Amino acid sequence: MRFTMPPDGRMATWCCLALCCMSFRAPLSRGADLQEIVRQANATLQADWAADADYAYVERSEVQKNEKVTSKTSQVVYIEGSDYSLPLAVDDQPLAPDREKAELEKLKNEARRRKEESPEARRQRIAKYKKQRDENEALVLDFPNAFTFELVREETMNGYPAWVLSGTPKPRTGTPTLASKVLSGMRGTVWIDKENLHAIRVECEVTTPVPVYGVLAKVLPGTHIEFGMAPVTSSTWLIGELSMKLIVSKLVFKSREVTGSTYSRYRPNNLVLAELLSK
């Protein structure tokens, strides 16, 4: 989950969720109460963000580029403080038995390597992973102060009565951070289930160029991201599906890419990892 170049799907999703997700615990109200709603929404969002690394999941990612569609499916687990992807299928075809066995052996070897690595190597590995998460956590923390929110309508989404809220960026003052630059270039809409007060669906759109790699690369207007959230427990909702139409400029070049991903089979990471290592 990294909003780097190119952006990882799950991380881009959390960035958009930070932009406009309003999975709050208090009854919806207007006017002065909206600030309290946003505050509580951010607290819930941070709790879901923190819980994300507690769960292993199956990810299927599809990419359409130059009229060609490819896909890959992986089991994602966390080993000794950072993530690891175990390939399961390519273009929806399960791995051949020999490769499946080889990939499982690679996972076991990596688990052993991480257990036996030096304290300094472990520190560097986890620091790299945490740096990627921390960069995007800044988006989550900056979110309440970055946007003006409005209740625009009520409607049914995926069979659930929902409130529909929109978020537009406030004018920024002071020295801009990467987080503030990203947030200032986006706007979003979120559908909130009236019964359980979690996000059902979120749509984000880039309205002004967003720098993602200094001056070398930008995500351009026309980029559109949509995703749905799914309950993992009675109190935790995580990403269920994601689609992205990504328009990126790199120096003088422009590229377009359409991707779609699903995230399923969320289970406690310690259980999934133990099952894999026992095979």
Predicted confidence (pLDDT) per residue in 26-65, tens digit: 344 444 356 665 666 666 777 777 888 899 999 999 988 7
Mean pLDDT estimate for the chain: 78
- Distance in angstroms (rounded) separating the CA atoms of residues 177 and 170: 14
Q: Are the CB atoms for 16 and 225 separated by under 8 Å?
A: yes
Per this entry, what is the length of the chain? 279
| 278 CB burial (10 A radius; 0-12, 13-18, 19+) | exposed
> From residue 200, how far is each of 84, 234, 244, 272 by CA, in Å?
28, 14, 17, 27
Query: Which range (67-71, 150-154, 209-213, 275-279) has the least confidence?
Result: 209-213
> What pLDDT does residue 82 have?
93
Question: Looking at the predicted structure, is the pLDDT value of residue 136 above 80?
Answer: no
Task: Note the pLDDT tens digit of each residue in 151-175.
Answer: 888 899 888 888 788 888 877 666 6
Distance CA 75, CA 277 (A): 13
User: What's residue 59's pLDDT?
Assistant: 94
Q: What is residue 203's predicted lDDT score, i.e. its pLDDT?
A: 84
Question: Which of 255, 199, 173 lies closest to 16, judged by CA?
Answer: 199
Of 13 and 262, the one with more pLDDT: 262
Q: Where are the alpha helices (DSSP H) in the chain?
A: 9-20, 33-51, 97-116, 119-146, 178-184, 269-278
Report field, pTM of the whole predicted structure over 0.85: no
Look at residue 216 in the predicted model and tell me its pLDDT. 62
DSSP state of 56: E
Backbone angles phi, psi at 113, to 5 degrees: -60, -45
Confidence band, pLDDT 50/70/90 cuts, at residue 269: very high
Which percentage of the chain shows pLDDT scores above 90?
A: 31
Closest CA to 104 of 116, 81, 86, 83: 86
Closest CA to 246 of 221, 217, 223: 223
For residues 184 and 172, is the Cβ–Cβ distance under 8 A? yes
* Interval 61-82: pLDDT, tens: 998 877 789 999 999 999 999 9
**d(Cα 246, Cα 168) in Å, to the nearest integer?**
20
Residues 6+ apart with CB under 8 A from 157: 191, 193, 200, 201
Q: 77 or 206: whose pLDDT is higher?
A: 77
